[in-house]
A and B are shown apart, each in its own frame.
Chain A
């Protein structure tokens, strides 16, 4: 029989702070903070306990630093400790895991993304709980929220009343636990002490289900969304916050997004120094003035910054390499429609059934993408752009923001992929794409064509010697299409690459979990749409699908949070599929007669370049 405790279900309210819970738990079980610490520590996984921590550190806070450097320091909440068995603790307390998980500041600091700012904390208690802020109404009801500690909130998210400084200097955190346990003893004294400021009475704290707070906290998630949407950024004046009663217009969010884009994704003109822009993938590459502006945005998490930079780099490559895209957007969209939309749709459809792979990085979960999963997607594609897609996928698995194809990991990954595929006898052909060339550093251009590449019309396919050895080692036949087909293949895939960065959330899922987050994602999508049709995104009932080449922005149906495939969508899709079928039928012969490499069998290419 499991251990029992005096605590019972319903004692923890949504967004309640660890300090509040700890104070009431200690009072209910008549234990001190050290006993509470022992309880929490007993749910730290054994094999990891003490690993990587010095003596006495325990779960002591580790500052989370973003690409901005020291502009932000967050000591973290106990519940965020990765070694903590939160489900086990929830089971012991008989509290829903979803409620327990809200005891963290993390969602409000990180996951909401660039639209959420952490201003300077000079006029407010820091998120490390050195001082305790609260709402008098909530405290009188025995509730203190983690949102009361967020520096950029001045008002209670439930009552709207001004937050007051409750404890100016909290004692040090409980030994072995994080900074959010600083407030346990003070709150316990305030609620249950002999001179309690808000006396709750013995054991009354366990009956908060009867209190109004409980009813209100059920809607807290929506209330938080309202708070977040009310944040207004003033990058230049450094205005830190945040009038809770301020206008909560989505236009303000759009303004914020546009500001960020202005830094990370500038519109370029003929005079734009693209190589320089392309190389600016780290914070160090930015001008100090730009960096200042970015820092003023608050916590732009590393992942958001990286993704923006990645998108920018690819946009540079794309606009630089494909003359087609220098055409007007209308012309480009026409060309895109003639491309292999179906393949990308299929790709997206299968990828979109669960949180997209790229999205996992933003959610800070490990990317686990097995070869089998990739193959599963490939098999659904009607054409053989296997390796190209594999590279696409594989590339996201490589660490670091730099797309360094020169690394041994890249080649090893490619070899592994190729061996996996061809070893299984599934494919006999390897379709190379100019994408290989495009994702390399520009300095790699002009390398000698390996002798393994022969045939007319393949001079634009560049393979370096190392890659060719890898390829030849496992691939019996390599096809390097040229001409219009190749161009379309590359362009489609590159567009997929660009847009994939932003297909990071299952927007439907995001909307269900977090309406604001879903809206923020769409806002970003709209901003990208304005840049290029490459980033045009639409939404189906299942996931975010990429329809970059299918429609120019002007042809997009009206974008709302509840967009669904409309008649226009469906008609366009029907047209695309018809075109694709004709294309496949007409060029199939030419496709199979493309240059074959490896066997020495050279065939004249078909189709114009």
Chain B
């Protein structure tokens, strides 16, 4: 997104059209990522898995917690984490009615934007993908390649064998494949079902030896850190300004920080949570938190952007972010899960 957005000349607040653009880009999914406490732990666990020589890691959690965003943040900062460049590829897995190896590897090639993604038959596509991975892995000082599969619970059962073959191919060339399986809690069921299969241990020991449970915001302190991250993040990139300045330039100039909103916002969130899931540890998905924040900033900006957000504004923003609906859905989901819901692993859609 362009670093320059049209503004109202009088008070420097973004015009409504600019705010819409900015808001849309925040939710677009790839351009704007902040580091949250859970992502920091995620990165540490990921780094430990790499250093320990693991070939895979399971990352699971409920929906809308920010697993994909967190994975992207970790991958984008892989070079900083590991200390040297490591090639990686993020693949959003999609469910297919009739999965084949040719289709699977062609999809991987397409995701990698390979020039010859559709040439040849299944084995040729597989070899092509392997050679592409190897070519990049060889150029890495760590001689490894990270393959991040998002929505991995949608993988067909035979996909693990394909991944195993990839791992063996790279291993034969003295390179390492690291598979990140990111998905919802069905991944844990996938892990259990693998163990029940004959020779399933090779998959679990290789790709699922490490797992990480993704959580949302669990405390006011978490929320404060996340809001602070929004304050520190430059957006749009290249603008030289932080995220908050785009909405409330006057307040930012008056030393306003988003982290000041943490207590009030957390209070509202906790109240909603307690109303439906009292007794359970609170988890606020990043998606809803971000939505509430953007709604709040927009409403303050619409009213001039010179007054600090008031408690009613905060409450209104949280209510409009559909957090309550999420809590209700979760409650119903938990109830269904306790009745033995069937795993979606390998389910056809």
CB pair B115 A39 closer than 8 Å: yes
Decide if A375 is an interface residue (CB 8 Å cutoff). no
CB pair B127 A3 closer than 8 Å: no
CB pair A29 B116 closer than 8 Å: yes
Query: Distance (Å) between the CB of B119 and the closest chain A CB?
Result: 5
Asked if A39 meets B139 with Cβ closer than 8 Å, knowing A6-B131, A29-B128, the reply is no
Decide if A31 is an interface residue (CB 8 Å cutoff). yes
A186-222 interface mask toward B, CB cutoff 8 Å, 1 = contact, 0 = none? 0000000000000000110011000000000000000
Across the interface, A8 reaches (CB within 8 A) one of B112, B120, B124, B135, namely: B135
Cβ of A4: which chain B residues have Cβ within 8 Å of it? 112-115, 132
How far is A7 from B115 in the complex, measured between Cα atoms in Å?
11
B91-134 interface mask toward A, CB cutoff 8 Å, 1 = contact, 0 = none? 00000000000000000000011111001100011011001101
Query: Distance (Å) between the CB of B83 and the closest chain A CB?
Result: 22
Asked if A3 meets B115 with Cβ closer than 8 Å, knowing A29-B128, A32-B120, the reply is yes
Decide if A108 is an interface residue (CB 8 Å cutoff). no
CB pair B135 A6 closer than 8 Å: yes
CB pair A92 B135 closer than 8 Å: no
Cβ of A266: which chain B residues have Cβ within 8 Å of it? none
Q: Which residue of B lies closest to A9 (CB)?
A: B139
Query: Distance (Å) between the CB of B265 and the closest chain A CB?
Result: 37
Cβ of A35: which chain B residues have Cβ within 8 Å of it? 116, 119-120
Interface size on B, residues (CB 8 A): 18
Query: Distance (Å) between the CB of A393 and the closest chain B CB?
Result: 47
Across the interface, B115 reaches (CB within 8 A) one of A1, A5, A207, namely: A5
How far is A334 from B272 in the complex, measured between Cα atoms in Å?
107
Decide if A287 is an interface residue (CB 8 Å cutoff). no
Q: Which residue of A lies closest to B128 (CB)?
A: A30
CB pair A28 B131 closer than 8 Å: yes
CB pair B124 A5 closer than 8 Å: no
How far is A6 from B173 in the complex, measured between Cα atoms in Å?
16
Q: Which residue of B lies closest to A2 (CB)?
A: B113
Q: Which residue of A lies closest to B123 (CB)?
A: A30
Interface size class of A (residues with CB under 8 A): 20 to 34
Across the interface, B120 reaches (CB within 8 A) one of A1, A3, A30, A207, namely: A30
CB pair A28 B135 closer than 8 Å: yes
Across the interface, B127 reaches (CB within 8 A) one of A5, A7, A30, namely: A30
Asked if A3 meets B135 with Cβ closer than 8 Å, knowing A31-B119, A35-B120, the reply is no
CB pair A92 B115 closer than 8 Å: yes
Cβ of B132: which chain A residues have Cβ within 8 Å of it? 4-6, 29
Across the interface, B134 reaches (CB within 8 A) one of A3, A31, A203, namely: A203
How far is A5 from B116 in the complex, measured between Cα atoms in Å?
8
Cβ of B135: which chain A residues have Cβ within 8 Å of it? 6-8, 28, 203, 206
Cβ of B119: which chain A residues have Cβ within 8 Å of it? 30-32, 35, 38
Cβ of A29: which chain B residues have Cβ within 8 Å of it? 114-116, 128, 131-132
Query: Distance (Å) between the CB of B72 and the closest chain A CB?
Result: 15
CB pair A5 B120 closer than 8 Å: no
Cβ of B173: which chain A residues have Cβ within 8 Å of it? 203
How far is A593 from B113 in the complex, measured between Cα atoms in Å?
77
Cβ of A2: which chain B residues have Cβ within 8 Å of it? 113
Cβ of A28: which chain B residues have Cβ within 8 Å of it? 131, 135
Asked if A3 meets B113 with Cβ closer than 8 Å, knowing A30-B124, A31-B119, A32-B120, the reply is yes
Q: Which residue of B lies closest to A206 (CB)?
A: B135
CB pair A30 B113 closer than 8 Å: no
How far is A202 from B116 in the complex, measured between Cα atoms in Å?
18
How far is A3 from B109 in the complex, measured between Cα atoms in Å?
10
A1-24 interface mask toward B, CB cutoff 8 Å, 1 = contact, 0 = none? 111111110000000000000000
Cβ of B138: which chain A residues have Cβ within 8 Å of it? 203, 207
Query: Distance (Å) between the CB of A227 and the closest chain B CB?
Result: 34
Cβ of B116: which chain A residues have Cβ within 8 Å of it? 5, 29-31, 35, 39
CB pair A8 B134 closer than 8 Å: no
CB pair B139 A8 closer than 8 Å: yes
How far is A39 from B127 in the complex, measured between Cα atoms in Å?
19
Q: Which residue of A lies closest to B112 (CB)?
A: A4
Cβ of A32: which chain B residues have Cβ within 8 Å of it? 119-120
How far is A202 from B169 in the complex, measured between Cα atoms in Å?
12
Query: Distance (Å) between the CB of A177 and the closest chain B CB?
Result: 16
Interface members, chain B 113-167 (any A CB < 8 Å): 113-116, 119-120, 124-125, 127-128, 131-132, 134-135, 138-139
Cβ of A1: which chain B residues have Cβ within 8 Å of it? 113
Query: Distance (Å) between the CB of B288 and the closest chain A CB?
Result: 31
Query: Distance (Å) between the CB of B307 and the closest chain A CB?
Result: 43
Query: Distance (Å) between the CB of B26 and the closest chain A CB?
Result: 21
Question: Most A CB atoms within 10 A — which of B112, B116, B128, B134?
Answer: B116
Cβ of A202: which chain B residues have Cβ within 8 Å of it? 131
CB pair B139 A31 closer than 8 Å: no
Asked if A31 meets B114 with Cβ closer than 8 Å, knowing A8-B135, A203-B134, A206-B135, the reply is no
Question: Most B CB atoms within 10 A — which of A8, A30, A31?
Answer: A30
How far is A2 from B115 in the complex, measured between Cα atoms in Å?
9
CB pair A6 B139 closer than 8 Å: no
Query: Distance (Å) between the CB of A191 and the closest chain B CB?
Result: 15
Query: Distance (Å) between the CB of B255 and the closest chain A CB?
Result: 40
How far is A8 from B137 in the complex, measured between Cα atoms in Å?
12
How far is A202 from B131 in the complex, measured between Cα atoms in Å?
9
Cβ of B120: which chain A residues have Cβ within 8 Å of it? 30-32, 35
How far is A5 from B113 in the complex, measured between Cα atoms in Å?
8
Q: Which residue of A lies closest to B115 (CB)?
A: A3
Cβ of B114: which chain A residues have Cβ within 8 Å of it? 3-6, 29
Query: Distance (Å) between the CB of B146 and the closest chain A CB?
Result: 16
Across the interface, A6 reaches (CB within 8 A) one of B113, B124, B128, namely: B128
Q: Which residue of A lies closest to B129 (CB)?
A: A30
How far is A308 from B138 in the complex, measured between Cα atoms in Å?
56
Asked if A30 meets B115 with Cβ closer than 8 Å, knowing A8-B139, A35-B120, the reply is no
How far is A30 from B132 in the complex, measured between Cα atoms in Å?
10
How far is A459 from B112 in the complex, measured between Cα atoms in Å?
81
Cβ of A7: which chain B residues have Cβ within 8 Å of it? 135
How far is A202 from B174 in the complex, measured between Cα atoms in Å?
13
Cβ of B139: which chain A residues have Cβ within 8 Å of it? 8
Query: Distance (Å) between the CB of A36 and the closest chain B CB?
Result: 9
How far is A29 from B124 in the complex, measured between Cα atoms in Å?
9
Cβ of B128: which chain A residues have Cβ within 8 Å of it? 6, 29-31
Interface members, chain A 13-63 (any B CB < 8 Å): 28-32, 35, 38-39
Query: Distance (Å) between the CB of A136 and the closest chain B CB?
Result: 27
How far is A8 from B116 in the complex, measured between Cα atoms in Å?
15
How far is A7 from B134 in the complex, measured between Cα atoms in Å?
11
How far is A39 from B117 in the complex, measured between Cα atoms in Å?
12
How far is A32 from B127 in the complex, measured between Cα atoms in Å?
13
Cβ of B115: which chain A residues have Cβ within 8 Å of it? 3-5, 29, 39, 92
Query: Distance (Å) between the CB of B174 and the closest chain A CB?
Result: 12
Query: Distance (Å) between the CB of A585 and the closest chain B CB?
Result: 64
Q: Which residue of A lies closest to B109 (CB)?
A: A4
Q: Which residue of B lies closest to A29 (CB)?
A: B116
Query: Distance (Å) between the CB of B66 and the closest chain A CB?
Result: 24
Q: Which residue of A lies closest to B124 (CB)?
A: A30
Contacts A/B (CB < 8 Å), 24 sampled: A1-B113, A4-B113, A5-B114, A5-B115, A6-B128, A6-B131, A6-B135, A8-B135, A28-B131, A29-B114, A29-B132, A30-B116, A30-B124, A30-B128, A31-B116, A31-B124, A31-B128, A32-B120, A39-B115, A39-B116, A202-B131, A203-B131, A203-B138, A203-B173
Additional 13 contacts, C-beta under 8 A, given A30-B119, A30-B125, A202-B131: A4-B113, A4-B132, A6-B128, A6-B131, A8-B135, A28-B131, A29-B114, A29-B116, A29-B131, A30-B120, A30-B131, A35-B119, A207-B138
Q: Ordered nearest first, which 5 A-B pairs have the shortest CB separation?
A: A30-B128, A3-B115, A35-B119, A30-B127, A6-B132
